[in-house]
Chain A
Amino acid sequence: MKNLIAIFLVLSFFNFSSIAQYNEDYVQAKTADIYGDDIKVVKMSRKDNHVKVKYFAAKENGKSVYERYRSWSANKSIIAYSSGTYMDLCGGNPLLANPVGVCFDAGKLVNARIKDDMDGLIIVYATGGVVASNLKEGNLSVKESSTGKSFVLNLRNAFDFSTFKNWAREEEATVFQTHLLNYKGVLGVGTNGSPNARERRFLAVCKDEDGNIIHCLINLAGQNTLYDATTKVSDYLKRIEDMDNIIYLINLDTGCQDIFQAFDDRGNFKAGFSGTTPISSAANLLVYYYE
Chain B
Amino acid sequence: MNYKKISLFLLLILLIFVGCILFMFTKSDDNISLPPSKDLYEISTVDTFNIKRLLSDSNNVDLTTSFPYKTYVDEANYENVKMIKRDIAIMESVLKNDPMVAQKILSLALTDSLLPKIKNQFAVYHPDTLAAFMQWVESFKYYAQYDEAYEPFYSSVYSYWVTYIANKLDEYSKTDANIKYQFKYRFVAGKCKENKFNVSPTASEIEKIVNNVVESKWAYLYKRLWSASLIQKIAFLFFGIFTFCAYIITIIFVINKFKK
Which B132-156 residues have C-beta < 8 A from chain A? 152-153, 155-156
A93:B200 contact, CB within 8 angstroms:
no
Q: Which residues of B contact A110 (CB under 8 A)?
A: 196
Q: Which of A89, A100, A162 contacts B211 (CB 8 A)?
A: A89
Q: Which residues of A contact B209 (CB under 8 A)?
A: 91
Take A98-B198, A197-B227, A277-B220 as given contacts and tell me if A90 and B211 are in contact as well, using a CB distance cutoff of 8 Å. yes
Please, how many residues of chain A have a CB less than 8 angstroms from a CB on the other chain?
30
CB closest chain-A residue, reference B144: A162
Complex Cα gap A115–B200 (Å): 11
A112 sits at the interface (CB 8 A): yes
Bound CA span A93–B217, Å:
11
Q: Which residues, 155 to 174 on A, are CB-close (under 8 Å) to B? A: 157-159, 161-163, 165
Q: A112-B195, A276-B219 are in contact. Are A90 and B227 (CB under 8 A)?
A: no
Q: Are A162 and B152 in contact (CB under 8 A)?
A: yes
The complex places the Cα of A115 from the Cα of B197 at a distance, in Å, of 10
Q: Known contacts A198-B227, A223-B227; is A159 also within 8 Å of B197 by CB? A: no
Is A130 an interface position by the 8 A CB rule? no
Q: A90-B211, A91-B207, A277-B220 are in contact. List 17 more A-B contacts (CB 8 A).
A: A88-B200, A91-B211, A91-B217, A92-B211, A92-B215, A99-B198, A100-B200, A109-B196, A110-B196, A112-B159, A113-B162, A158-B107, A158-B111, A159-B104, A161-B159, A165-B159, A197-B227
A159 CA to B157 CA, complexed, in Å: 8
Q: Is A133 in contact with chain B by the CB < 8 A criterion? A: no
A100 to B209, CA, bound (A): 20
Name A111's contact: one of B198, B214, B215 (CB within 8 Å). Answer: B198
- A91's partner among B108, B157, B163, B208 (CB-CB below 8 A) is B208
Q: Compute the total of residue contacts between A and B using a CB distance below 8 Å.
A: 85
Tell me the complex Cα distance, A163–B104, Å: 11
Whether, in the assembled complex, B59 has its beta carbon less than 8 Å from a beta carbon of chain A, the answer is no
Does residue A265 face the partner (Cβ distance < 8 Å to B)? no
Q: Residues of A contacting B199 with CB < 8 Å?
A: 88
Q: Is the CB of B107 within 8 A of A90?
A: no
A114 lies within 8 A of chain B by Cβ: yes
Which residues, 174 to 227 on A, are CB-close (under 8 Å) to B?
197-198, 223
Considering the complex, give the chain B residue whose CB is closest to the CB of A117: B167
Within 8 A of A (CB), among B5-63: none
Q: Does B203 contact A (CB under 8 A)?
A: yes
Determine the chain B residues whose CB is within 8 A of the CB of A99 once the complex forms: 198
- The answer, yes or no, to whether A119 is at the interface (CB within 8 Å) is no
Q: Are B220 and A158 in contact (CB under 8 A)?
A: no
Residues of A near B166 (CB, < 8 A) are 113
Q: Are B203 and A111 in contact, CB atoms less than 8 angstroms apart?
A: no
B223 at the binding interface (Cβ < 8 Å): yes
B160 part of interface (Cβ distance < 8 Å): yes
Q: Kindly list chain A residues whose C-beta atoms are within 8 Å of the C-beta of B152.
A: 159, 162-163
Contact B203 A90 (CB under 8 A): yes
B107 touches A159 (CB 8 A): yes
Contacts of B208 in A (CB 8 A): 90-91
Q: In the complex the two chains form, what is the Cα distance from A88 to B166 in whole Å?
A: 13
Interface residue A116 (Cβ < 8 Å from any Cβ of B): yes
Contact assessment for A159 and B163 in the assembled complex, using a CB-CB cutoff below 8 Å? no
Cβ contacts A to B, 5 pairs, < 8 Å: A91-B217, A109-B196, A113-B196, A258-B220, A277-B217
Closest residue of chain A to B106, judged by CB?
A159
Report the bound CA distance from A259 to B146 in whole Å: 44
Considering the chains assembled together, what is the distance between the CA atoms of A159 and B209 in angstroms?
A: 41
A279 to chain B, nearest CB (A): 14
In the complex, A115→B198 CA distance in Å?
10
Q: Which residues of B contact A223 (CB under 8 A)?
A: 227
| Complex contact B211–A113 (CB within 8 A) | no
B220 to A159, Cβ gap below 8 A? no
Encoded as 1 (CB less than 8 Å from any B CB) or 0, chain A from 40 to 73 comes to 0000000000000000000000000000000000
C-alpha spacing A20/B219, complex, angstroms: 33
CB-defined contacts of A114 to chain B, threshold 8 Å: 163
- Flag if B157 contacts A158 (CB, 8 Å): yes
Whether A91 contacts B215 in the complex (CB less than 8 A), given A159-B107, A162-B156, comes out as yes
Residues of A with C-beta under 8 A to B108: 157-159
A97 CB to closest chain B CB (Å) equals 9
